[in-house]
Amino acid sequence: MVLPVEPEFEQAYTELLLTLENSTLFDKKPVLKKAIPVVSVPERIIQFRVTWEDDDGVINVNRGYRVQFNSALGPYKGGLRFHPTVNLSILKFLGYEQIFKNALTGLSIGGGKGGADFDPKGKSDAEIRRFCSAFMRELSRHIGENTDVPAGDIGVGGREIGYLFGAYKRYRNLWEGVLTGKGLSWGGSLIRPEATGYGLIYYVERMLDYVSPGDTFAGKTVAISGSGNVAQFAALKAIELGAQVVSMSDSKGAYIVATPGTSFSVADVALIANIKLERKELFVLDDAFPTGKFTYLPGARPWIHLGKVDIALPCATQNEISGEEALALVAAGCKFIAEGSNMGSTMDAIEVFETERVKAPGSIWYAPGKAANCGGVAVSGLEMAQNSHRINWTKEQVDEKLKSIMSTCFDNCVNTAIEYSSEKTDGLPSLVKGANIAGFVKVAEAMLDQGDFY
């Protein structure tokens, strides 16, 4: 049988498989090996056309998707992405990662992902509203608060969630918590916009403290890629904790601080946030940023252009740190890499980080996205809980629950890595192994109990 070429999905599958096989998991729990071919095929893939009319009255056609990958732990849960690069391989990789990421939150949510090859950039509000209505016309048949609860992702922010929710309500005549990331006045949760970025920082806080008890972000140099929701709130929380943020970027280029010892400020991040809301590119900020504070690198990512850096947080998209860039981060003295994006590092980059971790114990520690960025979906799960009870928690309550979830996730990754590692090293445990194995075991054991394999 000839399978379709799906490079992103194949990469996610291979990374998980190699991690599991290079551990003692199947020696201790051999029955779980039977789960691999089952969990790696989606329970359901929905693909549909989306026809909508632009402001000139011209009919446009896009492809819409929902990959309902695994429901062993609860309703399918994962974002919707509107971007011209969206295809089935990317959504399958995202949905596959989402299964195990969601398991690491400890909440009762399965894994899925969806979206369309629609580009919101350059579209009017009316065009986006018409597209969202057409997209939801089909998607509404397949989702529900106890079946599948999508959220936002790249290209799908608060505006799009509002249009999608309104369309669902009209088509189904139901008000239910079918989408997360909703507005605060109609079922949304406090801290949800901040959750992925904040959660990333909370996870790295535990990494810092594990390596050197009492260590914090204060005085650390932090390189961040991306400039969307995750990057913005990771930067703001890092700045709040006393770190120096030295880079942010988008698909067209990167801004890097021009002088060592300086940092992006809260005001700088606010300028970036406004530009992103207007769906413009970062380079338009040349005249808005303080003169001489930043260097703009067109067409570049920040990683090979940095001076000394303590922490790297890739927060843009998949495969944004290559093997060459990983070596550059090692050379820059980077001690911690944690992904705010999904599968932010190539397999070559992960090999560099993991090899260095074993070769020079304590030198570098890498945290994969399925663990480090699970805060977003965790607070989405908390939004679902609030919707079910028709209540709203305070900002402090949600933030405290988020911190607890990230802390528990970190402990689970560390303890699982130690329990199932075949490494002979006195260094730091592999968070890649810990995250992959912990997530897989929880899902596979639920599937075994439910008769999905035997």
Would you name the residues annotated as active-site residues? 113
Name residue 148's beta-bridge partners: 76, 144
Contact between 227 and 282 (Cβ < 8 Å): yes
Other beta carbons within 10 angstroms of residue 401's beta carbon come to 17
Q: Quick check: 271 and 289 in contact, CB under 8 A?
A: yes
Cβ(321)–Cβ(349) below 8 Å: yes
Beta 148-151 vs 244-250: how paired, if at all? Answer: unpaired
Neighbour-count burial for 46-75, b at 16+ CB within 10 Å, e otherwise? bebebebeeeeeeeeebebbbbbbbbbbbb
CB 13 within 8 A of CB 96: yes
Bridge-based pairing state of the strands 311-314 and 221-225: parallel
404 Cβ contact partners less than 8 Å away, ≥ 6 residues apart = none
**Pairing assessment for the beta strands 365-367 and 221-225 based on DSSP bridges:** unpaired
**CA-closest candidate to residue 256, choices 266, 267, 268:** 268
Q: Is 214 left (phi over 0), alpha (psi -120 to 50) or beta?
A: left
* Segment holding 257, helix H or strand E: strand 253-257
d(CA 187, CA 386): 8
SS3 280: coil
How far is residue 263's CA from residue 14's CA, in Å, rounded to a whole number?
38
What is the C-alpha end-to-end distance of the chain, expressed in Å?
Answer: 24
Q: How many CB atoms lie within 10 A of CB 230?
A: 29
Inter-axis angle of helices 431-449 and 88-104, nearest 10: 90
Tally: H helices and E strands in the chain:
15, 12
